[in-house]
């Protein structure tokens, strides 16, 4: 039997919906895996668990949300021998899982990943910190990490909307920045900053029509809405067309991006749905490494070159 470790976040929205653990283990045994569940007990615990796993583990499944997946990937990158990872969505938003073609049924999702294909997935870095699919900054973005957990458990995605409505009275902050793309210098004023390796962000599908997970590149979108109606207009247009075609958004595809804020940002960066706290004003983004992931076949041809 192959060895599988499931790292499960007990605070994720769907974990308690598991009917019986036996059903879970039965599916894994059918696919030749002897499985063990390890529960996280707090922030960064998934990273520690992966770092400490034995080298004979054949598959590590991250059972939680995008933040749990980030921790699992981070732990894997710190290992000398990298392990094969998979994502079993049990969080609230699950942007990465939805992009890969998972459903809302955890048992069907388990079958999808175990019948899936191994792919090399690029991992982006903000300075020395890895992120799986998005690093973003701007007003309202703190909804991802500041929305109370009890609201997310009770209302799901609606909790983010309820929290966001409380912030609508706040003004839009603009930031004067200098940045480099592939060594070429630029300067401007923007309110929102998105560095992504994903076709889906914040529950919106197909933001980019041609994104690839294994091209050693990431996408940069800098937005400069002047009013709140501008923000709403941009959001509507992003759902209808490729983000690079939306007026007011500056787009780049690169693997070398640096940005310096001439005024300290009012909010923190959000990395894969979690807060990235730092006092820095200058950041460097790269694609430094890749990992092997077992993913559903559903969207594999669309998302990967190889």
Over residues 40-78, the pLDDT tens digits come to 998 899 999 999 999 999 999 999 888 899 999 999 999
Under DSSP, the state recorded for 243 is G
CATH at 196: 2.60.200.40
Pair 29, 108 in one domain: yes
Q: What are phi and psi of 243, to 5 degrees?
A: -60, -30
Taking 80 as the threshold, does the pLDDT of residue 155 lie above it?
no
Q: Where are the alpha helices (DSSP H) in 140-199?
A: 143-146, 149-155, 158-165
So what's the pLDDT on residue 217?
95
> Cα separation of 51 and 294, whole Å?
19
Pair 19, 166 in one domain: no
Range 66-94 average pLDDT: 90
So what's the pLDDT on residue 158?
47
> Cα separation of 177 and 6, whole Å?
42
The answer to whether the CB of 119 falls within 8 A of the CB of 213 is: yes
**pLDDT band at residue 187 using 50, 70 and 90 as cut-offs:** very high
- Cross-strand bridge partners of residue 150: none
So what's the pLDDT on residue 251?
94
Pair 14, 157 in one domain: no
**pLDDT band at residue 159 using 50, 70 and 90 as cut-offs:** very low
Q: What is the tens place of the pLDDT at every residue in 189-214? A: 999 999 999 888 777 777 887 889 99
So what's the pLDDT on residue 71?
96
Pair 178, 218 in one domain: yes
**pLDDT band at residue 160 using 50, 70 and 90 as cut-offs:** very low
Q: What percent of the chain has pLDDT over 90?
A: 54
So what's the pLDDT on residue 15?
54
- The secondary structure element, H or E, covering residue 28 is helix 21-30
- As a residue count, the chain comes to 306
Pair 165, 61 in one domain: no
So what's the pLDDT on residue 19?
47
Pair 99, 10 in one domain: yes
**pLDDT band at residue 249 using 50, 70 and 90 as cut-offs:** very high
> Cα separation of 97 and 64, whole Å?
10
Decide if 122 is inside a domain: no
Q: What is the tens place of the pLDDT at every residue in 255-296? A: 999 999 998 888 889 998 888 888 899 999 999 888 999 999
Q: For residue 218, what are the domain limits?
A: 129-289
CATH at 68: 3.40.50.10330
Domain tally, the chain: 2
Taking 80 as the threshold, does the pLDDT of residue 166 lie above it?
no
Q: What does the CA dihedral 115, 118, 119, 122 come to, rounded to 10 degrees?
A: 110
Pair 251, 177 in one domain: yes
Decide if 16 is inside a domain: yes
So what's the pLDDT on residue 236?
84
- Picking from 16-20, 132-136, 172-176, 292-296, which range would have the lowest pLDDT averaged per residue? 16-20
């Amino acid at each position: 039997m192959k060895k599988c470790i499931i790292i499960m976040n007990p605070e994720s929205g769907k974990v308690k919906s598991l009917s019986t653990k036996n059903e879970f283990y039965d599916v894994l045994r059918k696919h030749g895996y002897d499985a063990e569940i390890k529960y996280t007990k707090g922030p960064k615990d998934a990273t520690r668990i992966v770092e400490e796993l034995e080298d004979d583990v054949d598959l590590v499944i991250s059972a939680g949300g995008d933040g749990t997946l980030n921790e699992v990937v981070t732990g894997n990158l710190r290992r000398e021998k990298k392990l094969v990872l998979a994502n079993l969505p049990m969080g609230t938003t699950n942007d990465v899982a939805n992009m890969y073609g998972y459903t809302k049924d955890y048992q069907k999702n388990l079958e999808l990943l175990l019948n899936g294909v191994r792919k090399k997935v690029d991992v982006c870095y903000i300075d020395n910190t890895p992120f799986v699919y998005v690093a973003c900054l701007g007003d309202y973005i703190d909804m991802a990490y500041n929305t109370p957990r009890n609201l997310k458990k009770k209302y799901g995605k609606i909790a983010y909307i309820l929290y966001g409505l409380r912030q609508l009275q706040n003004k839009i902050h603009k930031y004067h920045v200098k940045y480099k793309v592939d060594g070429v210098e630029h300067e401007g004023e923007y309110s929102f900053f998105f560095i992504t390796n994903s076709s889906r962000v914040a529950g919106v599908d197909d933001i980019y029509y041609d994104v690839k997970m294994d091209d050693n590149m990431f996408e940069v979108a800098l937005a400069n809405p002047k009013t709140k109606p501008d923000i709403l207009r941009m959001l509507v247009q992003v759902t209808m067309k490729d983000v690079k075609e939306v007026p007011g958004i500056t787009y780049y595809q690169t693997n070398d991006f640096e940005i310096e804020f001439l005024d300290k940002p009012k909010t923190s960066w959000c990395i894969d749905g979690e807060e990235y706290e730092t006092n820095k004003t200058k950041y460097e983004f790269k694609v430094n490494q890749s990992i092997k992931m077992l993913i559903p076949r559903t969207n594999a041809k669309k998302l990967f070159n190889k």
